[in-house]
């Protein structure tokens, strides 16, 4: 954050921005970690904290200045971009057969990225449905990860034949 931006913010706004910047740095560290010790749940928890803090910009009655609101929106966008990049990367770099694992982890990460929208689904109309086979792969490879039960409560599972019968609703 530049000195000019800091001058326009109150002390608590600066502190809030600094906390979010620290969380964003932590998210980037977890994303860059190549040790294999970082679970999607670790990343999801940091992303959730960032989301909760940046959502303060939308709270009625919380007197945040325009500069602070803009900075929070920017930090939120940066965090979401880290997650988009993480999801887009190929997770599989191992031997054959790890493709399903990589696909399941990528799906898990993508759903975690969209949890706020899914949780507000009734209000926003945002929902996700996966096939029974996709669910079985997700459960087999990610069922023991933190956040899996939350994902299950927000994602519908359908037989792929029923999905095909329903047709493409984009038309």
In angstroms and rounded to an integer, the radius of gyration of the C-alpha atoms of the chain is 19
pLDDT digits (tens, 9 = 90+) for 2-57: 556 666 888 889 999 999 999 999 999 999 988 878 887 788 889 889 988 998 88
Q: What is the pLDDT of residue 110?
A: 84
Say how far apart CA 103 and CA 90 lie, in whole Å: 9
pLDDT digits (tens, 9 = 90+) for 83-119: 888 877 754 444 545 677 778 888 888 888 887 777 7
How is the chain split into domains, by residue range? Answer: 1-89, 96-171
Long-range contact list for 99-103, CB < 8 A, 24+ apart? 100/137, 100/141, 101/141, 103/137
Alpha helices in the chain (DSSP H): 3-7, 11-32, 40-54, 66-88, 99-113, 115-119, 121-124, 132-142, 148-154, 160-166
Q: What is the mean pLDDT of residues 143-169?
A: 81
């Amino acid at each position: 954050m530049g000195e000019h931006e800091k001058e326009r913010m109150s002390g608590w706004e600066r502190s809030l921005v600094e906390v979010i910047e620290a969380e964003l740095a932590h998210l980037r560290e977890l994303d860059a970690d190549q040790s294999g010790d970082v679970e999607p749940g670790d990343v999801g928890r940091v992303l959730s904290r960032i989301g909760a803090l940046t959502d303060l910009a939308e709270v009625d009655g919380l007197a945040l200045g325009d500069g602070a609101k803009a900075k929070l929106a920017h930090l939120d966008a940066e965090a979401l971009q880290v997650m988009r990049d993480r999801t887009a990367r190929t997770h599989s770099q191992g031997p054959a057969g790890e493709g399903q694992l990589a696909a399941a982890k990528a799906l898990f990460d993508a759903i975690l990225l969209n949890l706020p929208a899914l949780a507000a689904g009734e209000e926003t109309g945002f929902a996700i449905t996966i096939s029974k086979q996709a669910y079985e792969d997700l459960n087999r490879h990610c069922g023991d990860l933190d956040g899996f039960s939350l994902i299950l409560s927000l994602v519908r599972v359908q037989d792929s034949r029923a999905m095909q019968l329903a047709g493409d609703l984009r038309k």
